[in-house]
Amino acid sequence: MSKQVLDSALRRAVDALLRRQSASGEWEGEVVWGPMLAAQYVLMCQITGSAIPAARKDLLLLQFRRTRLGSGLWGLHAHSPPYLFVTTLVYVAARLLGLSRDDPLLVPAAHFIVAEGGVLRIPSWGKFWLAMLNLYDWEGLYPLLPELWALPRRLPVHPRRFYCHTRLIYVAMTVIYASRHQIPRAPVIEALRAELYPAGYGGFREHRGALRAGDLCARPGPVLRCVYALCRSVERRHSAAARRAIVERLLEHIRWEFRTTDHTAISPVSGLLSLIALWIHQPDDPDLHRALVRFEGWIWEDGRDGTRVAGARSASWDTAFALQALAAVESHASTEDSMARGVSFLTTQQIRRTFPGVEENFRIDPRGGWCFAGVWHGWPVSDCTAEALLALLAAPGVERDNEALREGVEFILRCQNADGGFGSYEQSGTRWTLEWLNPAEMFADSMTDRSWVECTSSCISALAAFRQRCPGVLDGRILRALERAARWLAARQRPDGAWPGAWGVYLIYGTLFGVRGLLAAGTPVFHPAIRKACRWLLARQRPDGGFGEHHSGCLTGVYVEHRESQVIQTAWALSTLLEAHEPDWSAIERGVDHLLRTQDSNGEWPAQDWTGVFFRTALLDYTLYRRYFPLWALALYKNRCEQRLHRDDVDRHGADG
């Protein structure tokens, strides 16, 4: 391909990315999930008596229309099969917003619910939401005992050891369960009872363990069922006074969580439940009312897709990657002002203090870390911190605060696990997996914050870059951490050469980070592990030069080829091959050709299947991924071309000499 074509594509891609930067310097794309959270927002408002303006009601219904599957039902995400769980929540929310059961939007869902025999087999989280709405009986749920939080903290199964998202969800659910709160029966509730239970309202206790197979990812196993039986026995004999004291402590834990997250909570999933928990026990709680106002920060709203609740906010994450992509292309475009504003924003997003009460609330010290969203979020993450550090270190011409960088490194080191890998928000609470205790049913790998390939790779890269920038600072600790992390990462490589990803789809994403981490740790490009990874990628290049992996492999653990090449995954694969100095130049050029062919005249790339994922079943669309990852790959390609030309010139002059 000609240099002119490549330079033109890079200029257009840079301009397109710069157009996405806000006036305050950050990049943030919407993290799109599905209609579940919008539906739960409606249900929360119904339970707490919070008014929804008429205009927003219309936009919520628009969101439900926009997220219907081809069947007219709703799933966990845009590419999932229909879920009884999500379809039921959306159906109930739409009815509470004023739609009749005969509205065309709801007719397919009504037929689906009847065909399923009603909602008695909805997963446990669905039963929980319906119970609060007086559409299910609390006797039909497994007990959620507050007493579990009073167990000795040293126990390996204490709930404090759960993955932070999971434990905060269950803190709120436990508090709500203890109250057995249900909203009053109103005409719409009576109508919904008839619609959701075609055989009659009842049968809850005998259907406690009835679960629709199509909604499940992790069916309760025999050990968990025994735990449930033990909990039922405790539920019949618990002390009311002791329970009230435990609930009060858990409520204070919820308040602390709101106060340390600018009243947003770690996520809207736990946040919605926490709002309800506070409202039930203290409707005039000032933290509750502040949190109701701040919940708006999770909401995206427009006339195209309506009102939706994001699964996450991503300003720090997106800004860090956008800056690294621009740094790779810096010599080819004038981006100094944009990068300076991005660096300025990112610098302000570091948490520079320790929160009082960290240990009592089961947290590690957040000082020095960066959050996925922004400093307001209060929950720093190891790889978000690492990518922010890498962005600050890569940006040219920037004056850096070495003390702030050191604090970032300290936070990263606090996230290293005993096995050498890195967790996301914190160290793993246990050396053993607790998946056998997983009560969520629709999600997997959600019980412990264990070591992850992507987090470990990013942390290795940041530690190595910091060590080069600030030699001698924390040197012994960093060296030991790097050695242990590199061993863990190398051991996670599969026999076929790939690495499994946890936060992206799936083996292509994991392999990008597996290779990047080993290279940053000092592994030479000719090492067998690096070459095996490249061979694995090359074997999966499609005839059009692109790469495409289907998300179903996240569940099966095997590579599943997509029906068509995916731009983001092509960029990931190309970046891996280029960083590993893959000698098969024709394969690289075919991949680059694919990116050039699929770029539009505005410099952007088309929206395709979603490539983000969490807990193996929940796909996410990181809408800026298709803006900066292809740009980054093309920049790496151009840099490699220039290196090859320079090497050829040196060889030629040497021969002439």
Cα 602 from chain centroid? 29
- Phi, psi for residue 31 in degrees, rounded to 5: -95, 100
DSSP H or E stretch at residue 387: helix 382-394
The Cα–Cα gap between 599 and 593 comes to 10
**Alpha-carbon separation of residue 178 from 127, 128, 146, 204 (angstroms):** 15, 12, 7, 18
Contact 352, 407 (CB under 8 A): yes
Residues in contact with 231: Cβ distance below 8 Å, sequence separation at least 6, in sequence order = 142, 143, 144, 145
Nearest residue to 106 (alpha-carbon basis) of 45, 191, 37: 191
Q: Token digits for 105? A: 């939007």
**The length of the chain, given as a count of residues:** 657
- Which member of 215, 287, 318, 383 is catalytic? 383
Q: Return the DSSP state at 592.
A: H
Q: Are 29 and 622 in contact (CB under 8 A)?
A: yes
Neighbours of 627 (CB within 10 A): 25
Task: Return phi, psi of residue 203, to 5°.
Answer: 80, 25
Per residue in 507-542, is it b (16+ CB within 10 Å) or e — as a string? Answer: bbbbbbbbbbbbbbbebeeeeebbebbbebbbebbb
Active site includes 383? yes
Angle at 599 between CA 12 and CA 632, to 5 degrees: 65
Instruction: Determine the Cα–Cα distance for residues 489 and 11; give it in Å rounded to an integer.
Output: 36
**Residues β-bridged to residue 31:** 622
Q: What span, in angstroms and rounded, lies between the C-alpha atoms of 486 and 42? A: 46
CA–CA separation, 178 and 442 (whole Å): 24
Q: Which residues partner with 342 through β-bridges?
A: none
Sequence-distant (≥ 6) Cβ neighbours of residue 515 within 8 angstroms: 499, 530, 533, 534, 576, 579, 580
- Residue that the structure tokens 């340390």 belong to: 260
Q: Which residues contact 556 (CB under 8 A, 6 or more apart)?
A: none
> Could you tell me whether strands 31-32 and 306-309 are parallel, antiparallel, or unpaired per DSSP bridges?
unpaired
Place of tokens 């300290």: 410
Of 224, 83, 240, nearest to 157 (Cα)?
224
Catalytic residues: 383
